[in-house]
Structure 1
Amino acid sequence: MSGSPADDILRLVFSFRRLAHGPADGACAAGTCEECFALHRPKVERFIEQGVPVHFVIPAFPAKSPNPQKVLGTLPDMAERVSLEFLQELCDYTRHYYEPGARITICSDGHVFSDLVGVPDETVHAYGAELESLLAAIGADAINTYGLEDAFPGFPFDEQRAMLTSQYAVPVEDVRARALAEPAARNIFGGIHRFLFEDRMALSTGRSRNSVREETKSLAYQVIQRSDAWSQLVEDFFPEALRLSIHPQVSHSPKIGIHMMRTKDNWLTPWHGVALDDGDGIRLVKRHEAEQLGATLVMRGGRVSHYIAPNVSTSAKPLIEEVAS
């Protein structure tokens, strides 16, 4: 494999890949699969030919989970800060191989499905505003944001969601059929359904697990429908950009799944977890897991920030600790 700047940049990104486990994992996970490189190399080379920063887009940072067993509150905390600093450093480090470096557009999808996941639009807006403040505070000048209100300005959020669905969504029946027929789509459905079930179960009283599971199964298909619609809109607005994802992706996907923090959970994200400083670095866990370890809550600027558990030994584990799904 060549040592071209394009391949060097892709090798850097692949080293943080959030990979869905499958039969092609060997060479793909090792970063030696030519097919993986060939999928994305032309886009990187196009930016290099133009002499401009390589542009990545990542639909992410929607809002905090409403589940208090997972998160500390409704606003970004240390988990988001560490993740944003990682993204900025990824852009900075790209300059080692290509002087203009890279830039990342965070395409926040919070308003896309906030009504489905039980998070008010006002809470999503407050989360987004604090995210912008955090980007400014850490000097993340290679990162900008783009949201549903940028795509459909001047309309209420309900109308923005309706416009997104009417212009870009496929019928829910098609989403369901794809999840039944395609392993990759089934894997995405399983992950989204797990998130929704955990969150709804934590907020439900007097309901059986089966009734919540059936309700969230239907919601999961709708979340995927809107998420796919948002993905298509992002593709239309940023056709030249390389696509990053916070979900595990199969090896030869046009999207590159990426970890932003060290974690044992291949699906966990900063908005579904908390930052835990375990003495060997910061890793991402669910709130109840940190509390089960006896971790201490840290306040920063009068607000909850993260946990510390200095007695937890991780034996200098690697940045990314994926577990088999």
Structure 2
Amino acid sequence: MTRDCLLEPFSSHTPQEVDDITSQVVDIIEKNYIHFPKHDQWFTSGGKQRFADRVRYHVARNIPLEFILPAFPVKSCNPDKTLGKSPDKAEELAIHSMKIVADLIKAVYAPGVHYNVVSDGHVFSDLVGSDDAAVDSYGEMFWEMAHNLYPGLVNFFRLDEFLLDNHSEDSIAKLISNTTVEHPVATELTANAENARRALMCLFGCDESTVTKEIKDDPETRNLYRGFSRFMLEDLYEHKSCKNLPSKSAKKKLCSQVAFLMILRNRAYSAMVEWLFPLQLRISIHPHPNRGPKYGINIIHSSLVAAQRSSEEKNFHIPTPWHNAVVELADGKFMLLHSKVIRGSSVHAGEMACEQLELSQQLLLKREGYRMVLVTYPDGRPSHYKQVSTMSKL
């Protein structure tokens, strides 16, 4: 799946057939998957052409398209955002969306697609207030969910599988002996995850002074840093490491430190993914200008969701299953929203940094004649909220 694909033989397609299939596949992905931000470069700066070149590589060899998606880390530690720590209806919708796109591509290109989720959970878990064990549990449950829904559609990989497998403990210890990582947020670590983080930064980390300079001089890096800072202030507000600080300025200082470390680790992880998967289709849950090599996607297909404006999309990323809960509207469409918005109140009294929904969306949830009920799985785990008529029986 990685660099071995370079050795795949060419198919019997003619050059014209390869071009025709490539064009159809790219059009499907453009219409059903690509997220177009305000300053998009998909149609300019060669973005679409670079993406098409990677599609053509696979089509010319008659092999499945390989999507690489760093995602599905762990549920947010903020109880005002999600329904709990386990995958739920939000993750289901993401998997269903993958299937929708896969079926559309399969109709024009027989080999179809594979989704390779390379979880970034342990890359950031100690920074976002999640214990390493929680990341492992979430990953196992997500993989089981994906496999049960659509066997063979999704592969799931963890950081340690890339960096620690097939290496002796002595060789790993020697590699990371001079590398440490900071932990400004209190979480419970596991030796395996910590060794993987240290190996990541040892092999692919960049110089801190370079990032410091870019935050100062480069508007795109500076905006990312500010976005991370604001987002983490929201995510960590009720976490003990943030909540126990004496002032809001101290909280902001902690979250700015976390934001800086997140950029460092994100760059290292991106470098590792690019090295391991040089020719695959690199997609992301973050908005990107789409000039390549990363391309932003709408992780929930438009056919499944009601139109909504998201403060997350504006400030940081496309709404994700691990930062939101799902509400199923009476018309069968879904919305990804913070759980406190669906409930109409916060579990905690802490200030939320995010914007509130527009009035029209609030009215949609609270319209006369309907109420919200919590839907659960057979084992009692929460799945999502559902809008039902007050005349309906539970």
Letter in 1 for 2:248: R
Structure 2's unaligned 5+ residue stretches are 1-17, 170-191, 345-364, 367-371, 390-394
Tell me whether 1:36 sits opposite 2:47 in the alignment.
yes
Alignment correspondent of 2:375: 298
* Matched position secondary structure for 1:221: helix
Tell me whether 1:128 sits opposite 2:170 in the alignment.
no
Letter in 2 for 1:198: E
Given that 2:325 and 2:336 are in contact with CA atoms closer than 8 Å, whether structure 1 keeps it comes out as yes
Alpha-carbon shift at residue 308 of structure 1 (Å): 1.5
Given that 1:75 and 1:127 are in contact with CA atoms closer than 8 Å, whether structure 2 keeps it comes out as yes
Alpha-carbon shift at residue 98 of structure 1 (Å): 1.3
Q: Distance in 2 between matches of 1:274 and 1:143?
A: 22
Name the structure, 1 or 2, with higher relative contact order (CA <8 Å, separation 6+): 1
- In the superposition, the TM-score normalised over structure 1's length comes to 0.87
Alignment correspondent of 1:53: 64
Alpha-carbon shift at residue 231 of structure 1 (Å): 1.3
Q: Distance in 2 between matches of 1:76 and 1:40?
A: 31
**Runs of 4+ deviating beyond 4 Å:** none
Q: Distance in 1 between matches of 2:211 and 2:330?
A: 43
Tell me whether 1:190 sits opposite 2:229 in the alignment.
no
Greater radius of gyration (CA): 2
Alignment correspondent of 2:81: 70
Q: Distance in 2 between matches of 1:237 and 1:131?
A: 23
Residue by residue over 1:94-146, the C-alpha shift from the partner in whole angstroms, topping out at 9 and shown as x without a partner, is 11221111111001010112111110000000000101110122024221011
Equivalent residues in 2 for 1:1-325, closer than 5 Å: 4-15=20-31, 16-22=33-39, 24=40, 28=42, 33=44, 35-153=46-164, 156-203=192-239, 204-205=243-244, 207-261=246-300, 262=305, 263-265=308-310, 266=313, 267=317, 268-280=319-331, 281-292=333-344, 293=365, 295-301=372-378, 302-310=380-388
Alpha-carbon shift at residue 34 of structure 1 (Å): 7.8
176-185 or 4-13, larger mean C-alpha shift: 176-185
* Matched position secondary structure for 1:188: helix
Q: Distance in 1 between matches of 2:206 and 2:253?
A: 22
| Closer, same or farther: CA 73–33 of 1 in aligned 2, 3 Å | same
Letter in 2 for 1:275: V
* Matched position secondary structure for 1:202: coil
* Matched position secondary structure for 1:60: coil
| Closer, same or farther: CA 4–278 of 1 in aligned 2, 3 Å | same
Residue by residue over 1:191-249, the C-alpha shift from the partner in whole angstroms, topping out at 9 and shown as x without a partner, is 32232110111331564322211211111111121122111111111112010000000
| Closer, same or farther: CA 279–93 of 1 in aligned 2, 3 Å | same
Q: Distance in 1 between matches of 2:274 and 2:72?
A: 18
Letter in 1 for 2:334: I
Given that 2:106 and 2:112 are in contact with CA atoms closer than 8 Å, whether structure 1 keeps it comes out as yes
Q: Distance in 1 between matches of 2:38 and 2:121?
A: 27
- In the superposition, the TM-score normalised over structure 2's length comes to 0.72
Using the aligned pairs only, state the percent identity: 28
Given that 1:88 and 1:142 are in contact with CA atoms closer than 8 Å, whether structure 2 keeps it comes out as yes
